[in-house]
Copies of this chain bind each other. A is one copy, B any other.
Amino acid sequence: MAGVRQFDEQEVIAVALEVFWRKGLHDATMQDLAAATGVQRGSLYHAYGDKEAIFLRAFDGYAGKFLETAASALAQGDAAARLQNFFELIIVNMTDGSPPRGCLTTRTALDAAISSTAVRQRVQGVLGRLEQLIGKAIRSAPKGRPAIDANRLARVVVTFTRGLAVMERAGYGRKQLKEAAATFVAALIGDAR
């Protein structure tokens, strides 16, 4: 078996994403990736160079899909509904699986100190674009727009989502996270005021 690539790149990257999601960039080993994908370690080195290159491919795919889904969740309803949809999405995203796999971006961000520039830039990229999406969603909402500047508020929302990811790691379940998010939205948009 040789001569031409024996594995499906898409599939390998998809499986690698799962591994990174569960273990983190730093804790996942090439051994782990080889075992999960069924591709020999040597072949992975040959095909991609090193672990980080594989991670970047996997992360880029993940980030693209994530932002896309987020954008559509942020497009429906008034300001409160948009945020609710969005929180619903990311909470399900991070509490999915058993045990829940958490938030890949947040986990990666926390490894910032030991990560390369390329990795750090990806994290910043995702957070930045997410902030823009949220800002736009708030600004263009049909009603229920809060009095505070949409850009500043967007950053607060992004920050809060990062907090949800940490709380999930600390042991909070889907239900508790959703309740926290609901309280956050209520306090922010304040329909009860």
Residues of A within 8 A of B (CB): 22-23, 26-27, 99, 102, 106-107, 109-110, 112-114, 120, 123-124, 127, 146-149, 152-153, 155-156, 158-167, 169-171, 176, 179-180, 183-184, 186-188, 190, 192-193
Answer whether A170 and B27 are a contact pair too, CB < 8 Å, given A107-B110, A148-B192. Answer: no
Contact B114 A169 (CB under 8 A): no
Q: Which residues of B contact A102 (CB under 8 A)?
A: 113
A-B contact pairs, 20 of them (CB 8 A): A99-B113, A107-B110, A110-B166, A112-B169, A120-B170, A124-B171, A147-B190, A148-B186, A148-B187, A152-B179, A155-B176, A155-B179, A160-B163, A162-B163, A162-B167, A162-B170, A165-B166, A188-B188, A190-B190, A190-B193
Complex Cα distance, B166 from A186, in Å, reads 23
| Chain B residues whose C-beta falls within 8 Å of the C-beta of A152 in the assembled complex | 179-180, 183
